[in-house]
Structure 1
Amino acid sequence: MRPARLDDAAVITALEALNQHCAQAWTIEDGKLQKSFRFHDFREAFAFMTRVAESAEALNHHPEWRNVYNRVQVSLSTHDASGLTELDFQLARAMEDATH
Structure 2
Amino acid sequence: PMISAIRQQWHLFAVPADELFGSFFDAMNSFECPFGNSGLPRYMHDTDKSGVDLKLVWLERGHPRASAVADVLSAAGFPDFGKQLQQLAKEPSPR
Question: When the two structures are superposed, what TM-score results if normalisation uses the length of structure 1?
Answer: 0.45
RCO higher in structure (CA 8 A, sep ≥6): 2
The answer to which structure has the higher helix fraction is 2
Greater C-alpha Rg: 2
